[in-house]
Amino acid sequence: MSTTVIHYEFLTEDERARLFHVRPEPLTADSPLELQAVALGATLYSPATRPNLAKDVVRSRERGVTSSVLCLEDSVPDDRLADAEDNLVAQLGTVHADRPPTPWLFVRVRTPEQVTDLVRRLGPAVDTLRGFVLPKFTPTTGPGFLDAVREASERAGVPLLAMPVVESPEVIHLESRAAVLGELHALLQSARDRVLAVRLGATDFSGTYGLRRSGDMTVYDVRLVAGVIADVVNVLGRTDGTGFAVTGPVWEYFTSGERIFKPRLRESVFAEHGARELRHQIMLMDLDGLIREVELDKANGLTGKTVIHPTHVAAVHALSVVSHEEHGDAQDVLGRSGAGGVLPSGYGNKMNEVNPHRGWATKVLRRAQAFGVAREDVSYVDFLVASSHQ
């Protein structure tokens, strides 16, 4: 069962023509890993205990979700783990039998043994999976997890990928961080053809110190956590060919509580696009905080986002579409490959320095393949409006 995903497939032909200068490409398991990693977008986590899991994943695809994690770890109480496993196997069996379009599906396990056991129990239905999310991934636990994914893949005859989660105290503790990240880098390099992306466990990072950000704040306002994210990207997210995609940490709010700070989402851009009411709805659901955090994720070298509610997906994906300006700048930079020098932006508002901006430009064009390029007069608000109709 080979699942093809394409962002914004729910739009009508007229909407695609109006919004996109370059349309998103269809992506499959045969697409380059670095492109698949970008295409993950907003990865929706769901507990494997959900009784209508098969219907839920089909419905989420219809709402624009392109990657989903079915969780057997922190979201499942210990005394319900066996029930969750049974439910997961049964629900994926239904997906296999019906063969509907689904997001790319991953299972978050607890142990390496769970990987091989689940693949055995799934039988032919293992072809519904793209891989496994590997929690509490350290230099000590990591080899067992990676070996289990490799062994399960070989036995099933299905290419299964790994997404390790960096979230353990050894990483957040300053005295051990550099050494542990160096060991993790070497370990992940040894399995480069199987590692899709590195995920960040910011909730676990915060929990190590008894911290939790509010919906008024981003993860970057929690300096302890922001420092860890910077160091993970520094070691594991390099663009010199040795790095991996590092995904944005979870956004865990979906309704607004009492606000302390004034919202920072500009009203004028929504007014210009006739979307004042949409801005109001975004405020009610705390999505303005998510929008700010996604922009900061991008600025800090992260790709995509972990989300816990379908309403989060549209915001992450709208901000992932490459703007017309970004695309033009990236093309200009890569068009001078090897020549160096400085070029004025076609928008007349910045300089593009060819050598320092080459890595950035490469990432932009990769994102353009996955999410497309907006027309010159189209903003992320237009994509939010189009998604709200869905």
C-alpha–C-alpha distance, residues 54 and 191, integer Å: 31
Sign of CA dihedral 56, 67, 288, 12: negative
Backbone angles phi, psi at 144, to 5 degrees: -65, -40
- Which tens digit of pLDDT belongs to each residue from 295-310? 999 999 999 999 999 9
Is the pTM of the predicted complex or chain greater than 0.85?
yes
Rounded (10°) CA dihedral 238, 202, 279, 378: 10
Residue 297 CB coordination number (10 Å)? 25
| HEC assignment per residue over the chain | CCCCECCCCCCCHHHHHHHEEECCCCECCCCCHHHHHHHCCEEEEEECCCCCHHHHHHHHHHCCCCEEEEECCCCCCHHHHHHHHHHHHHHHHHHHHHCCCCCEEEEECCCHHHHHHHHHHHHHHHHHEEEEEECCCCCCCHHHHHHHHHHHHHHHCCCCEEEEEECCHHHHCHHHHHHHHHHHHHHHHCCCCCECCEEECHHHHHHHCCCCCCCCCCHHHCHHHHHHHHHHHHHHCCCCCCCCCEEEEEECCCCCCCCCCCCCCCHHHHHHCCCHHHHHHHHHCCHHHHHHHHHHHHHCCCEEEEECCCHHHHHHHHCCCECHHHHHHHHHHHHCCCCCCEEECCCCCCEEEHHHHHHHHHHHHHHHHHHCEECCCCCHHHHHHHHHHC
| Residue 334 neighbours by CB under 8 Å, 6+ apart | 358, 361, 362, 365
- Amino acid sitting at position 36: Q
Tell me which residue of 88, 94, 16 sits closest to 49, measured CA to CA.
88
- Pick out the chain residues at pLDDT < 50: none
User: Hey, what are 154's tokens?
Assistant: 């070989």
For the chain, give every domain's residue range.
26-321
CA 308 and chain centroid, separation: 12
Instruction: With beta carbons less than 8 A apart as the criterion, state whether 36 and 24 touch.
Output: no
| Residue 60 neighbours by CB under 8 Å, 6+ apart | 44, 68, 103, 310
User: Hey, what are 183's tokens?
Assistant: 């060991």
Query: Looking at residue 141, what is its pLDDT?
Result: 97
- Which tens digit of pLDDT belongs to each residue from 182-226? 999 999 999 999 999 999 999 999 999 999 988 878 999 999 999
Using a 10 angstrom Cβ sphere, with 0-12 exposed, 13-18 middle and 19 or more buried, the burial of residue 262 is: exposed
User: Hey, what are 209's tokens?
Assistant: 């110190």
Sign of CA dihedral 39, 41, 47, 53: negative
Query: Looking at residue 258, what is its pLDDT?
Result: 61
HSE value, Cβ hemisphere, 13 Å, CA-based, for 146? 21
Tell me which residue of 182, 112, 212 sits closest to 152, measured CA to CA.
112
Q: Which of these CATH numbers, 1.10.357.10, 3.20.20.60, 2.60.40.2130, 3.30.420.10, describes 26-321? A: 3.20.20.60
